[in-house]
Amino acid sequence: MMTDIFATRVNPDRPSALSGLFINDTDPSAVSFAAGSPNESLFPVAAMKRAFSDAIDDKGPHLFQYQSVAGNDSLRAKLAARIGKWGNVHTTAANILLTVGGQQAIDLVAKAVLNPGDDIVVETPAYVGALAAFDIYEPNYHAVGLEPDGLDLNALEDTLKRHPGIKLLYTVPDFHNPTGITMSVTKREALVNLANKYDFIIIEDSPYRDLDYVASPLPAIKSFDTQGRVVFISSMSKILMPELRTGWLVADGELFDAIFKMRQAADLEACGVIHAAIDAYMTHNDLDAHVTVLKDHYKRQCAAMITGLEDYFPDEVTFTRPTGGFFDWVTLPEGIDAGKLLLSDIQPHAHINYVPATNFYPYRDVHNGMRLCFSGLTPAVIDDGMHRLGDAVKSALHDVEALK
């Protein structure tokens, strides 16, 4: 009855890319590779409790008063130093905006750049939360695929030539969600050159960059930016704890100003109490040492998943071999719909859950893939779950063959 009164961006016929991702399976044997949540057994709860207490003692009532749109100065300075050290991005607190998770950062850049119908490029498969954010601004999507060393730049340049109005490109260059792929340094520099040549903005969304299990993080795409075209986004969600709801972005010049204006109008400011607690945590604890502990655990979980893929999955299936982050991407033979298979077979019988490919494509037109997340599970549970999933996939492929 009231639908006529809504803005077109509500688009009730198109469900959010974020809806329906997770099935609640109460079976005691259920194993979920779906949720991309960090492992809460690794959360530094006692240290963070102390950090809240320290921040309140240190600042007193003023901590709870309105503060600033950009967020806590001291924390922003620490983050600037961190991305200088680990990403070769040399910036200052003045170019950093603290956001409500990385999600708000994506939303704000989209809001500052996109008119309805504007052309944007997303790598595919693409992070579902980014698609959900972009959808609201009603863009015209162009999908560019991934190669083992990241975005297919030849396909990208073809797309840019055919659509000279493209304004924005979204990429997760480090341990990509959902594939685990990392973009090479050569491609990072080349991508910035393309942005300069074809006049577009790059969102570099990098929440997993610290979680590298074999080497050190690579220079950020932003480190090659000479024209203020790259917005670097990261977050405390994966390296500290997600419900602190603290993401951050680095941007320059008038692009920073436009994002700032969108932010002020959207919610005035994020939570300075949380910022002060994170700042106190980083003052009194060694965040890098904590990240080392995380990496030690996640590395073994990642290895267990790859071993499972090697040992239990049929030859017709291909998969990525990530060296960091939370995710593996499995590609099934063409014609297999991983979403239908999940609902008809794998979840009800094997009690395994994953996120099917469909959710990761802006036009929901690719179905033969699955995102598997290892972050929340022990190596033993991963092994058991992968065994059951591999058997279920084999059986499904066998049925398909039998039907031919």
Q: How far is the CB of 10 from a second copy (least distance, A)?
A: 5
Footprint of a second copy on residues 340-399 (CB under 8 A)? none
Alpha helices of 313-378 — where are they, by DSSP H? 338-341
Query: Binding mask 87-126 vs a second copy (x if CB under 8 A, - otherwise)?
Result: ------------xxx-xx--x---xxxxx--x--------
271 touches a second copy by CB under 8 A: yes
Tell me if residue 208 falls in helix, strand or coil: coil
d(CA 368, CA 340): 10
* Strand 230-235, strand 247-250: pairing: antiparallel
**Binding-residue total with a second copy (CB under 8 A):** 82
d(CA 188, CA 224): 8
Footprint of a second copy on residues 242-261 (CB under 8 A)? 242-245, 253-255, 257-258, 261
Query: Binding mask 155-194 vs a second copy (x if CB under 8 A, - otherwise)?
Result: ------------x---------------------------
Tell me if residue 333 falls in helix, strand or coil: coil
Q: How far is the CB of 12 from a second copy (least distance, A)?
A: 7
86 touches a second copy by CB under 8 A: no
148 touches a second copy by CB under 8 A: no
d(CA 245, CA 204): 19
Is the CB of 110 or the CB of 330 nearer to a second copy?
110
Start-to-end C-alpha separation, the chain: 47
Footprint of a second copy on residues 293-332 (CB under 8 A)? none
d(CA 250, CA 96): 5
Tokens coding 329: 């991407």
Q: How far is the CB of 400 from a second copy (least distance, A)?
A: 35
d(CA 359, CA 320): 18
Q: How many CA atoms does the CB half-sphere of 15 hold within 13 Å?
A: 8
d(CA 112, CA 301): 39
Q: How far is the CB of 205 from a second copy (least distance, A)?
A: 14
Residue whose token pair is 């577009």: 200
Judged by CB under 8 A, which stretch of 87-95, 271-279, 280-288, 329-337 contacts a second copy? Answer: 271-279
Cβ atoms of residues 259 and 97 within 8 Å: yes
Burial class (CB in 10 A: 0-12, 13-18, 19+), 214: exposed
Name which position in 75, 201, 350, 366 contacts a second copy (CB under 8 A).
Answer: 201
Is the CB of 14 or the CB of 404 nearer to a second copy?
14
* Strand 140-147, strand 119-124: pairing: parallel
Is the CB of 134 or the CB of 224 nearer to a second copy?
134
Footprint of a second copy on residues 12-71 (CB under 8 A)? 12, 16, 18-19, 35, 37-38, 40-41, 43, 45, 48-49, 52-53, 56-57, 60-67
Name which position in 199, 337, 384, 391 contacts a second copy (CB under 8 A).
Answer: 199
Q: How far is the CB of 298 from a second copy (least distance, A)?
A: 16
Q: How far is the CB of 324 from a second copy (least distance, A)?
A: 20
Name which position in 33, 86, 127, 137 contacts a second copy (CB under 8 A).
Answer: 137
Q: How far is the CB of 133 from a second copy (least distance, A)?
A: 5
Cβ atoms of residues 270 and 100 within 8 Å: yes
Cβ atoms of residues 143 and 36 within 8 Å: no
Q: How far is the CB of 390 from a second copy (least distance, A)?
A: 28
Footprint of a second copy on residues 214-243 (CB under 8 A)? 227-229, 241-243
Find the angle CA(366)-CA(201)-CA(137) to the nearest 5 degrees. Answer: 60
Q: How far is the CB of 19 from a second copy (least distance, A)?
A: 8
